[in-house]
Structure 1
Amino acid sequence: MSPGAPLGRGPKVRAAVLTAAVTELAEQGYAGFTVENVARRAGVHKTTVYRRWPERDALITDALADSAEAEIPIPDTGSIEADFDALAQGLVAWVKSPGGQAVLAVMHSETAGSSRPPDTVRHVFRDRIRQALPVVVRAIERGELPAGTDPAECVKALVAPIYFRALITREKLTADTAANAARLALAGARAGVFG
Protein backbone atom coordinates (compact mmCIF):
# COMPACT_ATOMS: atom_id res chain seq x y z
CA MET A 1 0.00 0.00 0.00
CA SER A 2 1.37 3.42 -0.88
CA PRO A 3 1.79 5.96 1.95
CA GLY A 4 -1.10 8.11 0.72
CA ALA A 5 -3.49 5.23 -0.03
CA PRO A 6 -6.65 5.10 2.08
CA LEU A 7 -6.68 2.50 4.83
CA GLY A 8 -10.16 1.22 4.04
CA ARG A 9 -12.10 -0.61 6.74
CA GLY A 10 -11.19 -3.35 9.14
CA PRO A 11 -8.41 -4.08 11.60
CA LYS A 12 -5.89 -1.74 9.96
CA VAL A 13 -8.22 1.24 10.31
CA ARG A 14 -9.05 0.33 13.89
CA ALA A 15 -5.35 0.00 14.78
CA ALA A 16 -4.45 3.28 13.05
CA VAL A 17 -7.26 5.17 14.79
CA LEU A 18 -6.48 3.75 18.25
CA THR A 19 -2.78 4.54 17.84
CA ALA A 20 -3.64 8.07 16.70
CA ALA A 21 -6.00 8.49 19.67
CA VAL A 22 -3.25 7.51 22.12
CA THR A 23 -0.85 9.96 20.50
CA GLU A 24 -3.45 12.73 20.52
CA LEU A 25 -4.18 12.14 24.22
CA ALA A 26 -0.50 12.05 25.15
CA GLU A 27 0.16 15.33 23.34
CA GLN A 28 -3.09 17.25 23.91
CA GLY A 29 -4.56 15.77 27.09
CA TYR A 30 -8.24 15.09 27.54
CA ALA A 31 -9.35 18.71 27.19
CA GLY A 32 -7.54 19.18 23.87
CA PHE A 33 -8.47 15.78 22.42
CA THR A 34 -10.52 16.01 19.21
CA VAL A 35 -11.85 13.32 16.91
CA GLU A 36 -10.90 15.50 13.95
CA ASN A 37 -7.24 15.46 14.99
CA VAL A 38 -7.36 11.72 15.58
CA ALA A 39 -8.80 11.20 12.08
CA ARG A 40 -6.10 13.42 10.56
CA ARG A 41 -3.34 11.54 12.42
CA ALA A 42 -4.79 8.18 11.35
CA GLY A 43 -5.21 9.24 7.74
CA VAL A 44 -8.96 8.63 7.68
CA HIS A 45 -12.04 10.81 7.40
CA LYS A 46 -13.68 11.80 10.68
CA THR A 47 -16.90 10.03 9.67
CA THR A 48 -14.90 6.78 9.61
CA VAL A 49 -14.01 7.39 13.25
CA TYR A 50 -17.52 8.45 14.26
CA ARG A 51 -19.00 5.38 12.56
CA ARG A 52 -17.07 3.11 14.94
CA TRP A 53 -16.96 5.41 17.96
CA PRO A 54 -19.99 7.74 18.03
CA GLU A 55 -18.78 9.18 21.35
CA ARG A 56 -15.34 10.56 22.02
CA ASP A 57 -15.07 8.85 25.41
CA ALA A 58 -15.74 5.44 23.84
CA LEU A 59 -12.80 6.05 21.49
CA ILE A 60 -10.59 7.12 24.37
CA THR A 61 -11.56 4.10 26.46
CA ASP A 62 -10.88 1.68 23.59
CA ALA A 63 -7.56 3.33 22.75
CA LEU A 64 -6.28 3.23 26.32
CA ALA A 65 -7.53 -0.31 26.94
CA ASP A 66 -5.97 -1.52 23.69
CA SER A 67 -2.65 0.09 24.61
CA ALA A 68 -2.64 -1.37 28.12
CA GLU A 69 -3.60 -4.84 26.89
CA ALA A 70 -0.90 -4.85 24.23
CA GLU A 71 1.84 -3.46 26.44
CA ILE A 72 1.16 -5.01 29.87
CA PRO A 73 1.01 -8.76 29.36
CA ILE A 74 -0.53 -10.88 32.12
CA PRO A 75 2.19 -13.39 33.05
CA ASP A 76 1.84 -17.04 33.99
CA THR A 77 5.37 -18.16 34.91
CA GLY A 78 4.39 -20.66 37.59
CA SER A 79 5.86 -18.46 40.33
CA ILE A 80 4.20 -15.57 42.12
CA GLU A 81 7.56 -13.81 42.54
CA ALA A 82 8.23 -13.92 38.80
CA ASP A 83 4.61 -13.06 37.94
CA PHE A 84 4.54 -10.02 40.24
CA ASP A 85 7.90 -8.83 38.95
CA ALA A 86 6.75 -9.23 35.34
CA LEU A 87 3.49 -7.37 36.05
CA ALA A 88 5.32 -4.52 37.76
CA GLN A 89 8.03 -4.30 35.08
CA GLY A 90 5.36 -4.30 32.37
CA LEU A 91 3.46 -1.53 34.13
CA VAL A 92 6.56 0.63 34.48
CA ALA A 93 7.38 0.14 30.79
CA TRP A 94 3.79 0.97 29.82
CA VAL A 95 3.69 4.14 31.93
CA LYS A 96 6.72 5.34 29.95
CA SER A 97 5.11 4.39 26.60
CA PRO A 98 2.80 6.60 24.52
CA GLY A 99 -0.21 4.76 25.98
CA GLY A 100 0.95 5.32 29.52
CA GLN A 101 1.80 8.92 28.78
CA ALA A 102 -1.71 9.37 27.40
CA VAL A 103 -3.18 8.09 30.66
CA LEU A 104 -0.92 10.41 32.64
CA ALA A 105 -1.94 13.35 30.45
CA VAL A 106 -5.60 12.60 31.15
CA MET A 107 -4.99 12.16 34.88
CA HIS A 108 -2.92 15.36 35.07
CA SER A 109 -5.65 17.31 33.29
CA GLU A 110 -8.14 15.98 35.87
CA THR A 111 -6.04 17.08 38.82
CA ALA A 112 -5.42 20.46 37.24
CA GLY A 113 -9.17 21.08 37.05
CA SER A 114 -9.40 20.73 33.27
CA SER A 115 -12.20 18.99 31.48
CA ARG A 116 -12.62 15.60 33.12
CA PRO A 117 -13.43 12.30 31.47
CA PRO A 118 -16.48 10.69 33.09
CA ASP A 119 -14.83 7.39 33.95
CA THR A 120 -12.66 6.64 30.96
CA VAL A 121 -9.30 6.15 32.63
CA ARG A 122 -10.74 4.47 35.71
CA HIS A 123 -12.39 1.91 33.45
CA VAL A 124 -8.99 1.03 31.94
CA PHE A 125 -7.42 0.69 35.39
CA ARG A 126 -10.26 -1.49 36.70
CA ASP A 127 -10.14 -3.69 33.60
CA ARG A 128 -6.39 -4.29 33.89
CA ILE A 129 -6.75 -5.14 37.58
CA ARG A 130 -9.54 -7.58 36.70
CA GLN A 131 -7.37 -9.21 34.01
CA ALA A 132 -4.47 -9.62 36.47
CA LEU A 133 -6.55 -11.38 39.16
CA PRO A 134 -5.76 -14.90 37.86
CA VAL A 135 -2.09 -14.31 38.73
CA VAL A 136 -3.06 -14.15 42.42
CA VAL A 137 -5.68 -16.90 42.16
CA ARG A 138 -3.10 -19.28 40.66
CA ALA A 139 -0.62 -18.41 43.43
CA ILE A 140 -3.25 -19.22 46.07
CA GLU A 141 -4.00 -22.52 44.35
CA ARG A 142 -0.27 -23.38 44.29
CA GLY A 143 -0.01 -22.59 48.01
CA GLU A 144 2.28 -19.60 47.47
CA LEU A 145 -0.18 -17.18 49.07
CA PRO A 146 -2.58 -17.72 51.98
CA ALA A 147 -6.08 -18.98 51.25
CA GLY A 148 -8.50 -16.08 51.50
CA THR A 149 -6.10 -13.56 49.95
CA ASP A 150 -8.15 -10.93 48.10
CA PRO A 151 -6.73 -10.93 44.56
CA ALA A 152 -7.96 -7.41 43.74
CA GLU A 153 -6.44 -5.88 46.87
CA CYS A 154 -3.19 -7.71 46.20
CA VAL A 155 -2.95 -6.41 42.61
CA LYS A 156 -3.87 -2.88 43.75
CA ALA A 157 -1.04 -3.03 46.30
CA LEU A 158 1.33 -4.01 43.50
CA VAL A 159 0.41 -1.14 41.18
CA ALA A 160 -0.16 1.59 43.78
CA PRO A 161 3.50 2.52 44.41
CA ILE A 162 4.12 2.78 40.67
CA TYR A 163 1.13 5.02 40.04
CA PHE A 164 1.95 7.10 43.13
CA ARG A 165 5.38 7.89 41.70
CA ALA A 166 4.02 8.46 38.19
CA LEU A 167 1.04 10.64 39.15
CA ILE A 168 1.77 12.27 42.51
CA THR A 169 5.50 12.65 43.09
CA ARG A 170 6.37 12.37 39.39
CA GLU A 171 9.52 10.46 40.17
CA LYS A 172 11.48 8.64 37.52
CA LEU A 173 10.27 5.06 37.15
CA THR A 174 12.94 2.38 36.93
CA ALA A 175 13.29 -1.39 37.03
CA ASP A 176 14.04 -0.98 40.75
CA THR A 177 10.72 0.84 41.21
CA ALA A 178 8.95 -2.18 39.72
CA ALA A 179 10.98 -4.73 41.69
CA ASN A 180 10.33 -2.91 44.97
CA ALA A 181 6.59 -2.67 44.27
CA ALA A 182 6.49 -6.40 43.53
CA ARG A 183 8.39 -7.27 46.73
CA LEU A 184 6.18 -5.00 48.84
CA ALA A 185 2.93 -6.47 47.51
CA LEU A 186 4.24 -10.00 47.86
CA ALA A 187 5.34 -9.42 51.47
CA GLY A 188 1.92 -8.02 52.33
CA ALA A 189 0.13 -10.90 50.63
CA ARG A 190 2.25 -13.52 52.38
CA ALA A 191 1.66 -11.80 55.73
CA GLY A 192 -2.09 -12.05 55.21
CA VAL A 193 -2.62 -8.29 54.91
CA PHE A 194 -4.98 -8.74 51.95
CA GLY A 195 -7.14 -11.45 53.54
Structure 2
Amino acid sequence: MSSLTRPGGRTARVRDAVLRATGDLLAESGFAALDLAEVARHAGVGRTTVYRRWGTPTGLIADVLVAMADESVPRARTGSIADDLRANARLVRSTLADVRQGRLFKAVVVAGACDDRAADALHGFYAARIDEWAPCVDEAIGRGQLPDGTDARQVIAAVSAPLYYALLQSGQPLTEALADQAAGAALAAAQAGAFAAR
Protein backbone atom coordinates (compact mmCIF):
# COMPACT_ATOMS: atom_id res chain seq x y z
CA MET A 1 0.00 0.00 0.00
CA SER A 2 1.47 3.36 -1.01
CA SER A 3 1.83 6.37 1.26
CA LEU A 4 -0.97 8.00 -0.73
CA THR A 5 -3.46 5.37 0.29
CA ARG A 6 -2.37 4.71 3.89
CA PRO A 7 -5.36 5.33 6.18
CA GLY A 8 -5.05 7.98 8.87
CA GLY A 9 -2.50 10.67 9.52
CA ARG A 10 -1.59 13.89 7.75
CA THR A 11 -0.83 12.16 4.45
CA ALA A 12 -4.36 10.78 4.27
CA ARG A 13 -5.88 14.14 5.21
CA VAL A 14 -3.88 15.90 2.51
CA ARG A 15 -4.85 13.28 -0.05
CA ASP A 16 -8.54 13.55 0.88
CA ALA A 17 -8.47 17.35 0.59
CA VAL A 18 -6.64 17.28 -2.74
CA LEU A 19 -8.90 14.63 -4.26
CA ARG A 20 -12.02 16.45 -3.07
CA ALA A 21 -10.74 19.67 -4.62
CA THR A 22 -9.84 17.84 -7.82
CA GLY A 23 -13.32 16.33 -8.04
CA ASP A 24 -14.96 19.68 -7.39
CA LEU A 25 -12.90 21.45 -10.05
CA LEU A 26 -13.45 18.67 -12.59
CA ALA A 27 -17.19 18.83 -11.99
CA GLU A 28 -17.18 22.60 -12.22
CA SER A 29 -14.85 23.25 -15.16
CA GLY A 30 -13.93 19.93 -16.80
CA PHE A 31 -10.62 18.26 -17.57
CA ALA A 32 -9.21 20.92 -19.90
CA ALA A 33 -9.28 23.53 -17.14
CA LEU A 34 -7.79 21.34 -14.40
CA ASP A 35 -4.73 23.09 -12.96
CA LEU A 36 -2.52 21.74 -10.16
CA ALA A 37 -1.96 25.15 -8.59
CA GLU A 38 -5.71 25.77 -8.48
CA VAL A 39 -6.25 22.32 -6.94
CA ALA A 40 -3.68 23.14 -4.26
CA ARG A 41 -5.37 26.47 -3.51
CA HIS A 42 -8.82 24.86 -3.22
CA ALA A 43 -7.44 22.06 -1.05
CA GLY A 44 -5.56 24.45 1.24
CA VAL A 45 -2.22 22.72 0.71
CA GLY A 46 1.09 23.81 -0.75
CA ARG A 47 1.57 23.72 -4.50
CA THR A 48 4.81 21.81 -4.10
CA THR A 49 2.93 19.05 -2.28
CA VAL A 50 0.52 18.58 -5.18
CA TYR A 51 3.25 18.78 -7.85
CA ARG A 52 5.51 16.37 -5.95
CA ARG A 53 2.87 13.74 -5.17
CA TRP A 54 0.68 13.82 -8.28
CA GLY A 55 2.79 15.58 -10.90
CA THR A 56 0.16 16.13 -13.59
CA PRO A 57 -3.61 16.59 -13.94
CA THR A 58 -3.89 13.01 -15.15
CA GLY A 59 -2.02 11.85 -12.05
CA LEU A 60 -4.70 13.53 -9.97
CA ILE A 61 -7.50 11.98 -12.04
CA ALA A 62 -5.95 8.54 -11.72
CA ASP A 63 -5.93 8.86 -7.94
CA VAL A 64 -9.49 10.26 -7.89
CA LEU A 65 -10.61 7.11 -9.69
CA VAL A 66 -8.71 4.86 -7.28
CA ALA A 67 -10.45 6.58 -4.37
CA MET A 68 -13.86 6.33 -6.06
CA ALA A 69 -13.39 2.59 -6.59
CA ASP A 70 -12.26 2.13 -2.97
CA GLU A 71 -15.26 4.05 -1.62
CA SER A 72 -17.94 2.50 -3.85
CA VAL A 73 -20.95 0.87 -2.25
CA PRO A 74 -20.68 -2.92 -1.89
CA ARG A 75 -22.91 -5.06 -4.09
CA ALA A 76 -26.36 -6.25 -3.12
CA ARG A 77 -26.90 -9.82 -1.93
CA THR A 78 -30.64 -10.41 -2.26
CA GLY A 79 -30.68 -14.05 -3.40
CA SER A 80 -32.50 -13.00 -6.59
CA ILE A 81 -30.56 -12.17 -9.75
CA ALA A 82 -33.37 -9.85 -10.88
CA ASP A 83 -33.19 -7.89 -7.62
CA ASP A 84 -29.39 -7.85 -7.60
CA LEU A 85 -29.18 -6.49 -11.15
CA ARG A 86 -31.88 -3.93 -10.40
CA ALA A 87 -29.93 -2.80 -7.32
CA ASN A 88 -26.79 -2.46 -9.44
CA ALA A 89 -28.59 -0.43 -12.10
CA ARG A 90 -30.18 1.86 -9.52
CA LEU A 91 -26.83 2.46 -7.83
CA VAL A 92 -25.21 3.38 -11.15
CA ARG A 93 -28.16 5.62 -12.01
CA SER A 94 -28.10 7.45 -8.68
CA THR A 95 -24.39 8.10 -9.07
CA LEU A 96 -24.59 9.36 -12.65
CA ALA A 97 -27.75 11.39 -12.02
CA ASP A 98 -26.09 13.24 -9.14
CA VAL A 99 -25.14 16.69 -10.44
CA ARG A 100 -21.57 16.63 -9.12
CA GLN A 101 -20.88 12.97 -9.81
CA GLY A 102 -22.37 13.08 -13.29
CA ARG A 103 -20.18 16.03 -14.26
CA LEU A 104 -17.18 14.34 -12.66
CA PHE A 105 -17.71 11.17 -14.70
CA LYS A 106 -18.00 13.18 -17.90
CA ALA A 107 -14.72 14.92 -17.08
CA VAL A 108 -12.82 11.71 -16.38
CA VAL A 109 -14.17 10.10 -19.57
CA VAL A 110 -12.87 13.12 -21.52
CA ALA A 111 -9.54 12.77 -19.72
CA GLY A 112 -9.43 9.08 -20.62
CA ALA A 113 -9.96 9.92 -24.27
CA CYS A 114 -6.99 12.31 -24.18
CA ASP A 115 -4.45 10.55 -22.01
CA ASP A 116 -3.35 6.92 -21.69
CA ARG A 117 -2.73 7.14 -17.94
CA ALA A 118 -6.21 8.52 -17.33
CA ALA A 119 -7.65 5.84 -19.63
CA ASP A 120 -5.88 3.11 -17.66
CA ALA A 121 -7.23 4.54 -14.41
CA LEU A 122 -10.75 4.70 -15.84
CA HIS A 123 -10.51 1.09 -17.03
CA GLY A 124 -9.30 0.09 -13.58
CA PHE A 125 -12.25 1.84 -11.96
CA TYR A 126 -14.77 0.04 -14.18
CA ALA A 127 -12.98 -3.29 -13.71
CA ALA A 128 -13.13 -2.90 -9.92
CA ARG A 129 -16.87 -2.18 -10.01
CA ILE A 130 -17.57 -5.10 -12.33
CA ASP A 131 -15.45 -7.38 -10.13
CA GLU A 132 -17.54 -6.28 -7.13
CA TRP A 133 -20.85 -7.16 -8.80
CA ALA A 134 -19.96 -10.16 -11.01
CA PRO A 135 -20.32 -12.69 -8.15
CA CYS A 136 -24.09 -12.09 -8.06
CA VAL A 137 -24.24 -13.53 -11.58
CA ASP A 138 -22.04 -16.50 -10.65
CA GLU A 139 -24.28 -17.16 -7.65
CA ALA A 140 -27.35 -17.01 -9.89
CA ILE A 141 -25.76 -19.61 -12.18
CA GLY A 142 -25.26 -21.81 -9.13
CA ARG A 143 -28.94 -21.41 -8.22
CA GLY A 144 -30.03 -22.34 -11.74
CA GLN A 145 -31.34 -18.82 -12.48
CA LEU A 146 -28.97 -18.32 -15.42
CA PRO A 147 -27.43 -20.71 -17.98
CA ASP A 148 -24.12 -22.41 -17.26
CA GLY A 149 -21.24 -20.60 -18.90
CA THR A 150 -22.80 -17.16 -18.58
CA ASP A 151 -20.07 -14.50 -18.58
CA ALA A 152 -20.72 -12.62 -15.35
CA ARG A 153 -18.64 -9.60 -16.32
CA GLN A 154 -20.53 -9.13 -19.58
CA VAL A 155 -23.86 -9.23 -17.78
CA ILE A 156 -22.81 -6.53 -15.31
CA ALA A 157 -21.39 -4.38 -18.10
CA ALA A 158 -24.68 -4.74 -20.00
CA VAL A 159 -26.61 -3.44 -16.99
CA SER A 160 -24.72 -0.16 -16.78
CA ALA A 161 -24.02 0.44 -20.48
CA PRO A 162 -27.41 2.07 -21.30
CA LEU A 163 -27.00 4.39 -18.32
CA TYR A 164 -23.56 5.59 -19.39
CA TYR A 165 -24.91 5.98 -22.93
CA ALA A 166 -27.68 8.20 -21.60
CA LEU A 167 -25.18 10.29 -19.63
CA LEU A 168 -22.59 10.69 -22.37
CA GLN A 169 -24.45 10.42 -25.67
CA SER A 170 -28.23 10.55 -25.84
CA GLY A 171 -29.00 12.95 -23.01
CA GLN A 172 -31.95 10.74 -22.05
CA PRO A 173 -33.05 11.44 -18.46
CA LEU A 174 -31.40 9.11 -15.97
CA THR A 175 -34.59 7.91 -14.33
CA GLU A 176 -35.14 4.95 -12.06
CA ALA A 177 -37.38 3.52 -14.79
CA LEU A 178 -34.44 3.60 -17.20
CA ALA A 179 -32.29 1.81 -14.62
CA ASP A 180 -34.92 -0.88 -14.12
CA GLN A 181 -35.28 -1.27 -17.89
CA ALA A 182 -31.50 -1.68 -18.28
CA ALA A 183 -31.42 -4.35 -15.57
CA GLY A 184 -34.41 -6.16 -17.07
CA ALA A 185 -32.92 -6.14 -20.56
CA ALA A 186 -29.59 -7.50 -19.32
CA LEU A 187 -31.38 -10.21 -17.33
CA ALA A 188 -33.55 -11.25 -20.29
CA ALA A 189 -30.50 -11.46 -22.54
CA ALA A 190 -28.60 -13.48 -19.94
CA GLN A 191 -31.50 -15.87 -19.43
CA ALA A 192 -31.70 -16.35 -23.20
CA GLY A 193 -28.04 -17.36 -23.27
CA ALA A 194 -26.75 -14.21 -24.98
CA PHE A 195 -23.79 -14.01 -22.59
CA ALA A 196 -23.05 -17.75 -22.43
CA ALA A 197 -19.82 -19.09 -23.87
CA ARG A 198 -20.29 -20.53 -27.34
Q: TM-score, normalised by structure 2?
A: 0.82
> Distance between the aligned counterparts of 2:112 and 2:84, measured in 1?
32
Residue in 1 that maps onto 2:164? 163
What's the C-alpha RMSD, in Å, of the aligned pairs? 2.2
Larger CA deviation: 51-60 vs 102-111: 102-111
Residue in 1 that maps onto 2:115? 117
Residue in 1 that maps onto 2:17? 16
Note the alpha carbon deviations across 1:145-184, whole angstroms, 9 max, x for none. 1110001111111111111111110111011111111111
Within-5 A mapping of 1:31-180:
31-97=32-98, 98-107=100-109, 116-118=114-116, 119=119, 120-180=121-181
1:69 and 1:128 in contact (8 A); partners too: no
> Structure 1: any 5+ residue segments left out of the alignment?
1-7
1:89 and 1:178 in contact (8 A); partners too: yes
2:160 and 2:182 in contact (8 A); partners too: yes
2:58 and 2:111 in contact (8 A); partners too: no
> Distance between the aligned counterparts of 1:46 and 1:169, measured in 2?
39
Q: CA deviation at 1:46?
A: 2.1
> Distance between the aligned counterparts of 2:185 and 2:32, measured in 1?
36
1:80 and 1:135 in contact (8 A); partners too: yes
> Distance between the aligned counterparts of 2:179 and 2:57, measured in 1?
33
Q: CA deviation at 1:30?
A: 1.5
Paired residue total: 184
Deviating 4+ runs (over 6 angstroms): none
Q: CA deviation at 1:78?
A: 2.1
1:23 and 1:99 in contact (8 A); partners too: no
Larger CA deviation: 101-110 vs 125-134: 101-110
> Structure 2: any 5+ residue segments left out of the alignment?
1-8
